[in-house]
Amino acid sequence: MSAPPSPPAGLRIVIAEDAAIMRDGLTQTLARRGHDVVAAVADAEALRQAVAVHRPDVAIIDVRMPPTHTDEGLRAAQSIHRDHPQVGVLVFSQYIEAQSAAELFAGAAGGVGYLLKDRVADVSDFIDAISRVAAGGTVLDPEVVRQLLSVGRRAEALAVLTPREREVLALIAEGRSNTAIAGAFTISPRVVEKHVASIFDKLGLPPSRSDNRRVLAAIRYLES
Amino acid sequence: MLAVSARLRDHPHVLDGVLAVLLFSLSAGQWPIGPPLSTTVAVLVSGLLAATVLFRRRYPVAAFTAAMTIAAAQVLLGMQAGDGGPVVRALEPTVTDVVIPVLLYTVAAHRPRRVSVTALLVCLAATAVAITRWAPAQPPASSNLVFAAAAGLGGTALAAWVLGDSMAYRYRREYYASLEERTARAEAERDAQIRIAAAAQRASELQHRRALAIDESAARLRRIERDLHDGAQVRLAALAMTLGELKEALDAAPADSTDGDRTRMLVSAAHQNAKETLAELRDLARGIHPPVLDRGLGPALSSLTGTSPVPAGLDITSTQPPSPAIASIAYFCAAELLANVVKHSAASQATISVTDQADRLLMTVTDDGVGGAQLAPGGGLAGLLDRVQTVDGRLDVTSPPGGPTVVTIELPSHA
């Protein structure tokens, strides 16, 4: 099997996932794409140690891990993000909760991602998400964005947006760059800029030139 | 007439009083007209004799003894052999002496036979002495008169005793019958109490077992969800990832043949199937046991209100966390009720509030919608009621036309 071309610089990655089949599968897949999985562990404590020792670019973290199988991964991600701000944390889970996303993104300046575990099926997209988080970007699962957009009062507030603007807002919240949004709708980046400016104006958000700050502003708006 | 007799039965002392007054009045004609002292003593003696009747029910023996003492004095001092007349005129027997058979009757009716027989013998002896003292004064030819007096006085005493004794027998029989009845009643009561205690014990046993079964079932559902999460779901995700990689590898390879296209198509379909199955499996597992419940009822409800299409507030003031089984029932009810609000109420606002009262969890879901929600058989609310009732919970719906709708659910904190 011929692997697709890997990015020029491989990322140093720590994986924390208690299911061996997923841990090993991810390790192999990432290795095939030219990334360096420096540690693959099965619980939150081993994760904290591995991060302290290896200082990876990004840690991929399962939410449910031993001993309680509830939200160990989420807590570990928060503490890693606090203690090692330069380490990106991508939390992935069999289920997603808007609330968990809110906790994870609260106070974060970037380098944070929250995805449904299913997303590993679209390998390149998943690896792209890892890269964005490693680079200090933000990734939010489309499902969470969908939930956030449909919630009561917010849905009313968002009625001021045009359908296209809503689609653009969703992609912003997912953490896409303007270039990526332009690619998704096959429109020019300049048009995307116009949409973004209009959305931020209508929602009363402060304009921002940085993709990342724009994403965070959008997420905070949706989570408020 | 009946009323009078009933009243007398209820107040026997009235009867005794009437008798005493009657006898005392009748004796008035027999009081000697003479020196005032003698008259006074005679009145006093009659009064005392008559008064003994008043005490016959409470102190039958004492009353009898008192009367007999006075009677003895009368026999010894109030009459005299021959024509000499009484030594003390004030002690001449009077009609009040009738109290003696009355008292004998009372003793026989209310005291053991050995006491009453003694009293009878004392009476007969007194009669014999009295007649002995009285008889010599009679002319010799009137021996019939003496015999008649003896028979009259003795017979009266005997009749009083027999009457009283048979009353005693009746009383005893009634007493035994009532005793028997009371015993039977006590036994029946004890049997009933034993049966009630057994039923209560059985009920508490069943309640305990039901609680165990409910907890066990909640724990089993949670285990199933975890098994799915750690097993099928993660394997399927890994499979989907492999298929995804395979698909991308095929896409990247040069399109060289129809076979290649066909393979690409098949792999793509398999990849799509795997992803859809993952989503279905997730919904299934979440329906079995929502993992968010593992963080507690509060966070679980907050995730419900936080993603509700109708703006929903959450107000939790309960302090003691319910058992997992109860939390699960409360969560599923809240989810269903909130879904109802979205589907049927046209509400602009909903609120879930949770408080606890003693060992009960109280949850209300309120909306400002159109109202008209009904607890109809086979309906969604009836399904919730069934669920709530498995743990002795309650569900009340208040939903007048025009709203607002308030659904109150009360659950024990522990099954």
Q: What is the CATH number of the domain that holds A90?
A: 3.40.50.2300
Strand pairing partners for A112?
Answer: A89, A138
Given A140, A174, A204, the domain boundary residue is A140
CB-nearest to B279 from A68, A118, A152 is: A118
Instruction: Give yes or no: residues A136 and A149 share one domain.
Output: no
Nearest chain B residue to A100 by CA distance is B303
Instruction: Give yes or no: residues A74 and A103 share one domain.
Output: yes
pLDDT at A133 over 70: yes
Cα B117 from Cα B111, distance rounded (Å): 10
- On whether any CB of chain A is under 8 Å from the CB of B314, the answer is no
Distances (CA, A) of A63 to A74, A105, A132, B148, B234: 5, 15, 20, 122, 13
Cα B117 from Cα B168, distance rounded (Å): 13
- Give the pTM: 0.69
Instruction: Give yes or no: residues A59 and A135 share one domain.
Output: yes
Q: What is the mean pLDDT of chain B?
A: 88
- On whether any CB of chain A is under 8 Å from the CB of B226, the answer is yes
Nearest chain A residue to B342 by CA distance is A152
CB contact under 8 Å between B237 and A118, yes or no, is yes
Give the distance from residue A86's alpha carbon to the nearest chain B alpha carbon, in angstroms: 28
Strand pairing partners for B397?
Answer: B407
Residues B225-279 pLDDT 10s: 999 998 999 999 999 999 999 999 988 887 666 777 888 999 999 999 999 999 9
Instruction: Give yes or no: residues A95 and A32 share one domain.
Output: yes
Domain membership of residue A68 as a residue range: 12-140
Instruction: Give yes or no: residues A34 and A112 share one domain.
Output: yes
Residues A159-211 pLDDT 10s: 888 999 989 989 988 988 888 999 999 999 999 999 988 988 888 888 777 77
Query: How much is the ipTM here?
Result: 0.88
Whether the bond into B254 is cis, omega within 30 of 0: no
Instruction: Give yes or no: residues A47 and A155 share one domain.
Output: no
Given A98, A117, A140, the domain boundary residue is A140
**Gap between the terminal Cα atoms of chain B:** 67
Cα B161 from Cα B155, distance rounded (Å): 10
**Which one-letter amino acid corresponds to residue B384?**
L
Interface mutation vs chain A, best among B241, B295, B302, most A CBs within 10 Å: B241
In a domain, A123, yes or no: yes
In a domain, A3, yes or no: no
Q: How many CB pairs under 8 A join A and B?
A: 102
- On whether any CB of chain A is under 8 Å from the CB of B274, the answer is yes
Higher per-residue pLDDT: B258 or B382: B382
Give the distance from residue B192's alpha carbon to the nearest chain A alpha carbon, in angstroms: 51
Per CB-CB distance under 8 Å, the chain B contacts of A122 are 244
Per CB-CB distance under 8 Å, the chain A contacts of B246 are 1
Given A140, A164, A199, the domain boundary residue is A140
Is residue B355 within a helix (H) or strand (E), and if so which, with residue range?
strand B350-357
Cα B280 from Cα B312, distance rounded (Å): 27
How far does Cα B252 stand from its chain's mean position?
Answer: 85
Instruction: Give yes or no: residues A183 and A218 share one domain.
Output: yes
Give the distance from residue B325's alpha carbon to the nearest chain A alpha carbon, in angstroms: 17
Instruction: Give yes or no: residues A56 and A86 share one domain.
Output: yes
Residues B17-59 pLDDT 10s: 888 899 888 888 888 777 778 788 888 888 898 899 888 888 9
In a domain, A136, yes or no: yes
Cα B318 from Cα B352, distance rounded (Å): 12
pLDDT band at A3 (very low <50, low <70, confident <90, very high): very low
pLDDT at A1 over 60: no
Residues A12-42 pLDDT 10s: 999 999 999 999 999 999 999 999 999 999 9
Instruction: Give yes or no: residues A132 and A152 share one domain.
Output: no
Cα B182 from Cα B174, distance rounded (Å): 12
Per CB-CB distance under 8 Å, the chain A contacts of B235 are 21
In a domain, A46, yes or no: yes
Nearest chain A residue to B229 by CA distance is A94
- On whether any CB of chain A is under 8 Å from the CB of B295, the answer is yes
Instruction: Give yes or no: residues A107 and A173 share one domain.
Output: no
Mean pLDDT across the stretch A137-145? 91
CB contact under 8 Å between B307 and A151, yes or no, is yes
Structural contact between residues B411 and B360, judged by C-beta atoms closer than 8 angstroms: yes
In a domain, A4, yes or no: no
Interface mutation vs chain A, best among B226, B294, B297, B307, most A CBs within 10 Å: B307
Residues B272-285 pLDDT 10s: 999 999 999 999 99
Instruction: Give yes or no: residues A23 and A107 share one domain.
Output: yes
Instruction: Give yes or no: residues A63 and A171 share one domain.
Output: no
Residues A75-117 pLDDT 10s: 999 999 999 999 999 999 988 888 888 888 887 888 999 999 9
pLDDT at A53 over 90: yes
Q: DSSP alpha helices (H): ranges in B289-323?
A: 297-306
Mean pLDDT across the stretch A2-16? 70
pLDDT at A139 over 90: yes
In a domain, A1, yes or no: no
Q: What is the CATH number of the domain that holds A165?
A: 1.10.10.10
- Give chain A's domain count: 2
Per CB-CB distance under 8 Å, the chain A contacts of B248 are 4, 123-124
